[in-house]
Amino acid sequence: MTSTRVAIVGGGPVGLAAALFATRAGMTPVIIEARDCDGDKACGEGLMPGVMPLLQELGLDPPGRNLLGVSYRQGAKQVDHLFPGTPGRGVRRTVLVEAMRAETERQGIERVHARVNGLTQHSSGVLVQCADADDLESEYVLGCDGLHSTVARQLGLVAQPARRARRYGLRQHFQRAPWDSMIEVYYAGDAELYITPVDDETVGVAVLGPRGVNLDKTIARVPEISAKLDGVPAASSLRGAGPFPYRVHRAQSGRVLLAGDAAGYVDAITGEGLRVGFAQGREAIRALQAGQPASYPRRWRKVTREFRFLTRGLVALASSPLRGSIVPLASASPRIFGVVVNRLAQ
């Protein structure tokens, strides 16, 4: 058996960031990742301004395209908000993961390709039982294995979803130069369409909506986007995610902590998963470095409180009879709209 300070289950951006935070804290992480792929997933790929200092703290500067703000559009109504100060950045998920993996390799962080199929806690650590690899003995485990987390499920932490309609996401890239430096969000029927420039030759197009949501049909509902993408070849395969929401009873059980989507996921409507996930990973490492895993739920609540409140409010509004009034109301109250965007972005 191999002994390590903290076993991080999940090699996506949040798990990779947590491993880098752990190394900087003088800990010895090992990343356990079941998938052998490029790390791609269905997501908006817009890194908000608040993510950039966290990446810089880890010595990362992934290539992409600067994002100057967010534009919400609904029929003839439109409201734009420019980010104050530092811009965000559109970055393809594969590019981000590649940059983060390269940094973990440069730091000499161990990586194990295996599926976790059991966790046994004892007084001084956790036995991580792996398929296709030797079991690991670790002082702590940090589950960063995403939506519908295996770690959370094995510990009985997954809660029943809230009683409301489940939502799903789809994303595909198109080989076309971006026409704007804003994230564009279109309310199209019962779905939202997101346009994110991710480099100088590619735009990412994502949709959120109810079960059965269709990307092509949603694009067709937005004539200005349909015209811009007419005849444009796809630059990636179609990927899906969901259902949302996903809830856990708590983000810590003994020596095992959860961070990122594994610790609960409200909805992708705000596109702020990575900012919050990175902050959770950093706080989890701080709690473990102090030998106080029980302090993590308080830390977790602190760094996610505003995000959870605003996201739930936006989802409730988008699911209500007032859905058709969201952009007109924001357009009529641009200062309030700007405050909400800034709080989510920072």
Report strand pairing: 136-143 vs 69-74. Answer: unpaired
Q: Are 72 and 78 in contact (CB under 8 A)?
A: yes
Q: What is the pLDDT of residue 85?
A: 86
Q: Tokens 């491993």 label which residue? A: 19
> What's the CATH superfamily of 2-163+243-345?
FAD/NAD(P)-binding domain (3.50.50.60)
Q: What is the pLDDT of residue 196?
A: 96
- Residue 60 — φ and ψ, nearest 5°? -115, 140
Q: What is the pLDDT of residue 163?
A: 63
Of 10, 11, 12, nearest to 274 by C-alpha is 12
Angle CA 314–317–297, to nearest 5: 40
Reading phi first (left if > 0) and then psi (alpha if -120 to 50, else beta), residue 156 is in: left
Q: What is the pLDDT of residue 3?
A: 41
Q: What is the pLDDT of residue 343?
A: 75
- Provide the residue-wise pLDDT of the chain in tens; the chain has 346 residues: 544 589 999 999 999 999 999 999 999 999 999 887 777 887 879 998 989 999 999 999 999 999 999 999 998 889 998 998 889 999 999 999 999 999 999 999 999 999 999 999 999 999 999 998 899 999 999 999 998 899 999 999 998 766 667 889 999 999 999 999 999 999 998 999 999 999 999 999 999 999 999 999 999 999 999 999 999 999 999 999 888 888 899 999 999 999 999 998 766 655 567 888 999 999 999 999 999 999 999 998 888 887 777 777 777 777 777 677 778 777 777 777 777 767 766 7
Q: Alpha-carbon distance 64 to 44, whole Å?
A: 13
The ranges assigned to domains in the chain are 2-163+243-345
Q: Alpha-carbon distance 56 to 15, whole Å?
A: 17
Which CA distances in Å does 256 have to 151, 199, 227? 9, 38, 50
- Residue 276 — φ and ψ, nearest 5°? -70, -40
Of 300, 260, 304, 305, nearest to 283 by C-alpha is 300
Q: What is the pLDDT of residue 66?
A: 97
